[in-house]
Structure 1
Amino acid sequence: MGAAGQGGDEAERGTVVTPSAEFPPLGQEERAALGRIGERWQEPRKPDDLPVDPTLGRSGRPPQPTRFGRLAPIEMFTVEEPDELVASEPAHLPGSRAGRLLTRTRRTLFGPPISSASVLYERMRKLVALPVLSSDLLSSVAYGPEAMLSVLVLAGSAALGLSLPLAALLVVLMIAVGVSYRQTIPAYPHGAGSYIVAGDNLGPVPGLAAAAGLMLDYVLTVSVSVAAGVRAVTSAVPGLAPVAVLLGVLVIAVLLAGNLRGVRTAGNIFVLPTYAFVVSVLALLVVGYARAAGRGFAPVPPPELPAAEGLGVLLVLRAFSSGAVSMTGIEAVSNAVPAFRRTEWRNARTTLGWMVAMLVVLFASLVGLIHLDGLVPLPGETLLSQLGRATFPTGPWYAVLQATTALILLLAANTAFNDFPRLLFFMARDGHAPRRFLHMGDRLAFSNGLVALSLAAGLVFVTFRGNTESLIPLYAVGVFLAFTLSQAGMVVHWRRRRGRGWRRRLAVNAVGALLSGLVLLTAAVSKFTEGAWVVVVAVPLLVLLFRRIHRHYATLNRALALHPPATAAPGPAGSAEGEELPQEVRHLVVVPVARLNRASLRALAYAASLGQPTLAVHIAPEESEADRFREQWRAWGDHLRLETIVSPYRAVIGPLAHYLEALHTTRPELTLTVIVPEVVLRRRWHRPLHSRAEQRLRAALRALPGVVVTSVPVHLAE
């Protein structure tokens, strides 16, 4: 079967990213261990012997609304199946006035929560996915040609003639990489292309290197796109130049807010600017080439410029790698295949074909028109702006071109907002990134990944003061590292699979890998001192960080796994699963008591009601106070065993924590349950008036195994 057929079958088996990814199923061995533990479980009481109806059966009294929302707690739930309740509305408004205001503001900005069942309807059709995922790729034609010419002009005006052959080579590179990714999509229809392809075929370290390159690419995509968009605005309105950094930060905030509203909503927001930019540039090209045809396509000589550097191979390679930034974003579709409607891989491949065709036409045509008009890069105005002024000397068309260019450059970052959180999702699923990136927010968007991208991009943008020329040298290394590893991984993939037409597919991916590797090497060497060293150093550091995260999660999984009999280690109760059986757990309840008041008496009553051995502990600063407390204890009735500890240096948490540790060391099979009386304060400004000793004790005991800390709250009336 061909790759497309295999990919289609794989897609049909389900590649939808759902909220359930946060809760992975048990493996076969763990399920067996779970059943074995259940067979030995001795119920302390019958399952149905509960003092309340867990299905929330309606009583004769009408339920009253609570402080968490307008719905009563019983009315919030509906019974869908036996032993299953469904929350009818996410009514979780905080009790404070400020909290309710904040929640309502959040819902106004980002919209009401969306049900998990709607995840299938939040995916994009091709006409929406095209502008959403191509905004980065198409917008790069606004600064890619200029980046190439800015290097060539260093050798003087005569070197500008090399722009045409270099553009032809870049077109070959675009087509080769585009066709390569078209092959990747049906072979890997689950998305996160470069990371998964490199990891599956080249090993975990190349996969993580590709992920690191992609992450840096996405962060720089936001920074470079916003910087280029702000520059387009300041080119048309020079008076805004002093506040360019502030404008960029505001744009990143707006992009974050738009994407937090959900994939489909964000796509609808960003459709019009992308199509408007394409129409504007096509109009520019039609009019520009018509004017050039009127003079017989004779190129206008560029202004004479002195040479700052000699024309050599290194300078030409630098210009080539600078122009290659026009390809950034070409991998976006392969990373976001699950975001398409069915059939996902087929729609994604069609969309990528449209994108590459539009990129080739716009890039090659713009470079040719710039050459015909004899334009050169200027420090105060972009080449596209110069081209617009020359093509539309009168009328509103120049303003329209600049407005649409600024919009697509500012919104081009939206491609990264789609792919960065999804990449983090796949990495978190594999244990290489924090698991919080698995979580879908209220609007079925990966909110944590979106916020992380915004913070990182904002930091880079502010650090470089929105300077596009300073950011582009960092740009090419990360993205072409991902390109190279992805295409090399596909070469290995075809060699292993050897399906129909595998040699032709392998050759296409090999060409893509070779050309991408050439650009990567050129960019890393020629632009190392210009800032590319940051990416060269950052990629291995990120890979090291990912591996450390994976090691932590592997340790955690081993510690929490239900061990099969062959690998079970003896536990404190003499069996592997002793601590998971209620009949094997031995308790000692400890209640720290500072003074005998309502809070401490309630904690003591709660401890005694559990029916387990209970010990009260009092820390006294001197002997006289210890004597007074013991006298009060006897007046109370001496119902529980009391141990008094004198702390002459007036420390409380330290001696108490060490005493509990000593108890645990003496009898490690005991589970110490520390019950702390806690006063619950209704107002935040009251908190500094209290010591919050229970929180400090909880922190001190957190590292001690076999100790459970809980609290008995006493709520203040005011």
Structure 2
Amino acid sequence: MRKLVALPVLSADALSSVAYGPEAMLAVLVLGGAAGLRYALPVAATIAFLMLAVGVSYRQTIRAYPHGGGSYVVAGDNLGRLPGLVAAAGLMTDYILTVAVSIAAGVEAITSAIPSLTPDIVPIGVGVIALLLAGNLRGIRQAGVLFAAPTYAFIAAVLALVCVGLYDAGGRGFHPTPTPALTATEGLGVLLVLRSFASGSTAMTGIEAISNAVPAFTPVTWRNARTTLTWMVGLLIAMFAGIIALIRLDGIVPSGTETVLSQLAHRSFGNGVLYVLTQAATAAILLLAANTAYNDFPRVLFLLARDHHAPRLFLRLGDRLAFSNGILLLSAAATLIFVAFGGRTAPLIPLFAVGVFLAFTLSQAGMVVHWWRLRDRHWRKSLFFNATGCLLSAVVFITAGVTKFTEGAWVAVLAVGLFLFVALRIRHHYEQVAEAVALHPHAVEVPGRTLAPQAGGQPAEPGPPRGAGPAAEGEEENRTAEDEEAPEEIRHLAVVPVAALDLPGMRALAYAASLQQPVLAVHVSPTEEEAERFRGYWRLWGDHLPLEVMLSPYRAIVAPLVNYLEALHRQRPDVTLTVILPELVVRHWWHRVLHNQLAGRLRRALRNLPKVVVTTVPFHVRPRSVRPGPHMPRGPHRA
């Protein structure tokens, strides 16, 4: 993405949060009456300083991690695996709630202008999630072009609102308008102020999105990402400070029927076209701010899957080069949360703050450790900013978790704990499987009698069928349809896709070679380095069978295999291709989702191609201590 597209795509969440962050802060302070509202400016100034500190910190994160360094990567690298997983749990909770909260706030902006739609907030929100799902399955670039206009329209509307409001206030000498009479329902104290700080700090959600998505920028990626982050933080602070100043000058207080931003727009623009445009832009960016989560949630899942903490299906890119499985999971989870809370913003805010600032705190702590270890030029200044951001984020996290625990924060805490349990169990399963399928000395033997394909990848020519004359042989050469009637009429080529040199792969190769037909091994690799590494393993094993290596930079497996098999079929339509796949058989049904179901997908893709047979060689995963003897048939070649 170019910077002009990346800014609206990755900043929509952070910038749109000024529509509900200041209101969430005031909603707590107003409980203390007029005395509580006097703390609005100091609390807002602290939040603005936190925005600046965290923004500067993430600029340094981009510098330290030019290939993408979100909270999961930073915390994992510098604090260890468990803190990294906790940060990932906070991030994923944040992204799911970003979708739910942004859409809930957007629907509130609509109902503030059109109160008759209030009973339909849940169907409207679910419909918007469906539209976001469809748009993001089209790919990041297409979604960025679609979502750019509302973000820029909202920026222009808020800046115009602030300018007009300050101009009007200047006409009366910047004297604040008295607030309506308020009755204090809670005692004013430190706890109330901290609660308002925690609620108002939701105005900085999404500030880490750019550091997560550095690889999505056009080159030079890290430089463009830092420039975009600087613009985002500058706009965020300016818009937040401007709205807080107008709230103070105009004497606005939260209302149960109209949002604070709508009240400000009424004061500055009246009920005319500018008010309608402001509300429309606010609703649009709030409804589309969830797109930030659609960009980053699948990327975090990809990193978790790469580290064996999530199912491998989240490694795959879809046809539009988007992480389709992660997008689908995010949509389902956000829809469930949105419907469960009735599409209302207020009860979702406590859940929101916990996940956001848990990830912030661990990320900042990780950067403190990073600078302490590195100690390069200006490391003390960098460490100071990160330490300040860590301290403030920790205060917000603890305050939100403690003061709002019974209001719904317990849901976020429970979600983080459940995620940790599942992620650790998934990694434990993958480690068990890796141990069970790993090669070990004197356990792998390959058959001695194998028939290799001739040069060019064509199968060796078998002898003529018994009892067949020259005429029959010529007729067989022209046979391309599936009309073989005798076993000796079928010409074979066994193709064995091998992902890794492990026991399941060896067993599939041995089974194919034992059929006494030509065998060709095929390996699909995501990078040239990985391909060369696999060739080295193959030569070390003994290079017993011919090997074809294909590159698939987007980690697709089925499409390259299908294209390759179609090319083989066009080259020799008289040959029956038998695709022999190793298949892991796990003990529990819920483990199946952790492994790619390649056989079924490949069988469906090849269904329309004649003379192709797909078969599987099962390999039952058991602890090595109870595994029976070697699985490979004996022969003269020992690996």
TM beyond 0.5: yes
Greater CA drift, 284-293 or 540-549: 540-549
Identical columns (%): 62
Q: Residue type of the partner of 2:345?
A: T
* Partners of 1:214 and 1:147 in 2: CA distance: 21
1:273 pairs, out of 127, 150, 155, with 150
Structure 1 position 604, deviation (Å)? 10
- 2: CA distance, partners of 1:330 / 1:455: 24
- Counterpart of 2:374 in structure 1 is 497
1:257 aligns with one of 118, 134, 138:
134
Aligned to 2:453: none
Q: Does 1:216 align with 2:96?
A: no
- SS of equivalent to 1:156: helix
Q: Does 1:423 align with 2:297?
A: no
* Contact 1:192 1:426 survives alignment (8 Å): no
- The aligned residue for residue 547 of structure 1 is 424
2:175 to 280, 298, 301: 298
Note if 1:404 corresponds to 2:286: no
1:443 corresponds, among 320, 342, 353, to: 320
Cα shift at 1:210? 0.3
1:489-547 residue CA offsets vs partner (Å, 9 max, x unmatched): 01111111121221221111111111111111111111111111111222122112111
CA distance in 2, matches of 1:450, 1:258: 10
Amino acid in structure 2 at the alignment position of 1:196: V
Q: Which amino acid aligns with 1:395?
A: G
When normalised by structure 2's length, the TM-score is 0.71
**Mapped partners of 1:389, 1:318: distance in 2:** 29
AA at the equivalent of 2:297: F
Code of the aligned partner of 1:305? L
Q: What amino acid is the match of 1:125?
A: R
Q: Deviations over 1:378-422 (max 9, x none)?
A: 111100011111111143110000000000000000000000001
> Could you say which residue in structure 1 is the equivalent of 2:463?
none
Cα distance in 2, alignment partners of residues 605 and 312 from structure 1: 91
Query: 2 CA distance for matches of 1:166 and 1:143?
Result: 15
Query: Is the CA contact (8 Å cut-off) linking 2:176 and 2:248 kept in structure 1?
Result: yes
In 2, Cα distance between equivalents of 1:374 and 1:305: 12
For the pair 1:183 / 2:56, whether they are aligned, the reply is no
SS at match of 1:309: coil
Pair 1:153-2:153 in alignment: no
User: Where does residue 193 of structure 2 map in the other structure?
Assistant: 316
Match of 2:386 in 1: 509
Give 1:559 deviation, angstroms.
Answer: 3.1
How far apart in 1 are the matches of 2:341 and 2:378?
A: 48
1:144 paired with 2:21, answer yes
Q: 1:166 aligns with which of 37, 43, 51?
A: 43
Q: Are the counterparts in 1 of residues 306 and 315 from structure 2 also a CA contact under 8 Å? A: yes
Distance (Å, rounded) in 1 between the aligned partners of 2:448 and 2:350: 62
Structure 2 match to 1:367: 244
Rounded Cα–Cα distance in structure 2 between residues aligned with 1:491 and 1:702: 46
C-alpha displacement at 1:242, in angstroms? 1.2
User: Do the aligned partners of residues 701 and 554 (structure 1) sit closer, same or farther apart at CA in structure 2, a change above 3 Å counting?
Assistant: closer
**How many angstroms apart in 2 are the aligned matches of 1:163 and 1:230?**
26
Give me the whole-angstrom Cα distance separating, in 1, the residues matched to 2:348 and 2:227: 32
- C-alpha contact (below 8 Å) 2:350/2:400 kept by paired residues: yes
1:148 and 1:322 in contact (8 A); partners too:
yes
Secondary structure in 2 matching 1:408: helix
- Aligned to 2:38, the other structure's residue is in SS state helix
Instruction: Determine the structure 2 residue equivalent to 1:92.
Output: none
Task: Write out aligned runs for 1:283-682 (5 A).
Answer: 283-561=160-438, 563=439, 568-571=440-443, 577-578=444-445, 580-581=446-447
Q: Which residue of 2 aligns with 1:653?
A: none
The CA distance in 2 between the partners of 1:386 and 1:363, in whole Å, is: 16
Q: Is 2:81 the counterpart of 1:204?
A: yes
Distance 1:199 1:702, change over 3 A: closer
Partners of 1:611 and 1:290 in 2: how far apart? Answer: 84
Aligned-pair CA distance for 1:558: 2.8
Q: What is the CA–CA distance in structure 2 between the aligned matches of 1:351 and 1:256, rounded to whole Å?
A: 25
Please point out which of 102, 105, 108 is paired with 1:231: 108
In the comparison of the two structures, how many residue pairs are matched?
Answer: 481
What value does the CA root-mean-square deviation take over the aligned residues? 3.0
Q: Distance in 1 between matches of 2:3 and 2:102?
A: 23
Could you tell me which amino acid in structure 2 is paired with residue 149 of structure 1? L
Q: Could you say if the C-alpha distance between residues 582 and 175 of structure 1 is closer, same or farther in structure 2, counting changes exceeding 3 Å?
A: farther
Work out whether residues 449 and 514 of structure 2, in 8 Å CA contact, stay in contact via their aligned partners in 1.
Answer: no
SS at match of 1:380: coil
Whole-angstrom CA distance in 2 between matches of 1:461 and 1:309: 30
Deviation at 1:191, TM superposition (A): 1.5
Amino acid aligned to 1:240: L
- Give the 3-state SS of the residue equivalent to 2:156 in structure 1: helix
Q: 1:611 to 1:277 in 2, by over 3 A?
A: closer
TM-score normalised by the chain length of structure 1: 0.63
Amino acid at match of 1:157: A
Report the AA paired with residue 9 of structure 2: V
Distance 1:240 1:467 in 2: 14
Which residue number corresponds to residue 9 of structure 1? none
- State the alpha-carbon separation in 2 of the partners of residues 701 and 447 from structure 1: 29
| Distance apart, 1:555 and its partner CA | 2.2
Q: How many Å separate the matches in 2 of 1:260 and 1:153? A: 43
Aligned-pair CA distance for 1:302: 0.7
Give structure 2 stretches of 5+ with no counterpart: 451-484, 493-511, 516-603, 605-615, 623-627, 633-639
CA distance in 2 between partners of 1:420 and 1:612 (Å): 46
Tell me the distance in 2 between the aligned counterparts of 1:248 and 1:582: 64
Q: Distance in 2 between matches of 1:189 and 1:250?
A: 37
Structure 1 residues 502 and 606, CA, compared in 2 at 3 Å: closer, same or farther?
Answer: farther
Distance 1:701 1:203, change over 3 A: closer
Amino acid at match of 2:254: P
- 1:192–1:423: 8 Å Cα contact kept in structure 2? no
1:252 maps to a residue whose letter is I
Taking the aligned partners of 2:389 and 2:14, their CA distance within structure 1 comes to 17
Show the 5 A alignment for 1:60-79: none
Deviation, structure 1 residue 146: 0.2
Q: Please give the alpha-carbon distance, in whole angstroms, between the structure 1 residues aligned to 2:513 and 2:252.
A: 88
